[in-house]
Amino acid sequence: MDRDTPIVLPEYISAYLEFPEQLGLKRAELSKKSGVDLESLAQTPRPFTLNEILSLIEVGITELKMPYGGLAIGHQMRLTCHGMAGVSAMAQQTYAECLQAACRLCEKAFPPFTMEYYEAENTVGIRIIECISLAPFSHFFFESITVNFKNILKFLLGKEYEPDHISFPYPAPEYEKIYRRYFNCKIRFNAEHCEFAVPKALARRELLLANQGIARMAEQDFLKTVPPINLNYLPKKLRLVLIQSAGAFPSLETAARKLGMSGRTLRRQLNSLRTNFQNELDLLRREFAINYLTKSDKCITEIALMLGFCDSSAFSKAFKKWTGESPREFKKNYGQQGQTNRHDFEAEWENLYRELETSE
C-alpha cells in the first residue's frame, strides 16, 4: 500500500502542529528534523503523504518525550479541524446519525481508516479499522480519534455525558493510567477492533445543531475539497475485504465478487495502480505477522495458521522474504521494543498536566 501518495487533508496537519508549538517545539525545527516542508502550509495548503505524517509524529513524540502524545493532541484538536465533514456530521438530527455520517465521511477525510457504525443490545457505536498501515504509530491515531470523539460527544449533548466504553486493539501501554485523564468510562485493551460506544438512549437524543439543509450542503462542499484518489481508492477497499476475512483469506475471484466486479477487472485495475492481489495480501499478512510477534504471546505455529499458511515452515519462509529475519529472530529482537518504565511516564505526565492547567 502506497504511503507516498498525498491523501491527508492539510487541516489535520495544522491541527496537529498546534500542540507541539504550545510546548515549545517550533514549526521550523519540526520541519527540519522531520524533512517535511511546512513553510507553505498557510499560504498554499496541499494534501500530505502518510510518510510525511508519520515523520512529523515521530519527531514530535521523540522531541517532547511524549509516547502518549495521541491522547494529548486529540484533546487539544479543535472541533473545526474536520472542516465541512465535521459540520455535516454535527448538523445531523440525532447523535446516532452523527456517528453514521462520521463513518461515511471518515475514509474520504482520512483514508487510512474505515469506520463502521454498529448497534448492540444496549449500545451503538463505531468501529475504527486500520486499512492502511500506520505502524509504528497506530496507537497515536486511535488515541487522538477516540479522545476527539469524546470531546465532540460532550459538545453536542452536554459535559455530563460519557461514552459507555472505548476499546483499543493493542495491549495496555506503559502509560495506561494516563488514559484515565481523558476517559471516564470503561476502557478495554487487546480488543479485536478500536470501538467508541455510547448507550442507545443517548444516541437517540436530538442534536441542538440539527439542520438537514446545512448537513447536506456541508457534505457537498467537503467532497469538493477531497483529493480525487480519496473518493475511490481500490487497494484500500480490497484491503478492507481481506481484513474482514482474516484467517480465511478469499481468492482473487471471491474478493472481486465482494467488491462488485469480475476477477479480470480487479486484476486489471490493480495492475494500473502498479500492484496486484498477491502483493496486497502479502502486505497485510506481513503487518498482521509483525503485530502478533511483537504484541502477543501467540506461538509461531498459531500465527502461521491464523494468516492462512499450511504450516510454520511456509510462514517462516515467507516472513524471512518479507523482513530478512525468521519469525523467531524477529520476535527476539523486537518483541520487547519500546518497553520503558511506567513510573517515569506517569511522573512526566503529572508535570506536563500541571503545566497545562497553569497555562489555561
- The CATH number assigned to the domain with range 276-360 reads 1.10.10.60
Confidence grade of residue 360 (pLDDT, cut at 50, 70, 90): very low
The sign one gets for the Cα dihedral 310, 316, 322, 327 is positive
- Strands of 194-199's sheet in order across: 113-119, 123-130, 194-199, 165-167, 186-188
Cell of 155: 459538545
Confidence grade of residue 342 (pLDDT, cut at 50, 70, 90): very low
Convert the pLDDT of each residue in 164-205 to its tens digit: 999 999 889 999 999 999 999 999 998 888 999 999 999 999
Contacts of 171-174 with C-beta under 8 Å, sequence gap 24+, read 171/295, 171/296, 173/67, 173/68, 173/139, 174/67, 174/339, 174/340, 174/341, 174/342, 174/345
pTM score? 0.71
Superfamily of domain 10-222: H-NOX domain (3.90.1520.10)
H-assigned helices in 65-122: 69-76, 83-90, 95-109
| Residues with Cβ within 8 Å of residue 302, at least 6 apart in sequence | none
Q: CB–CB of 319/326 below 8 Å?
A: yes
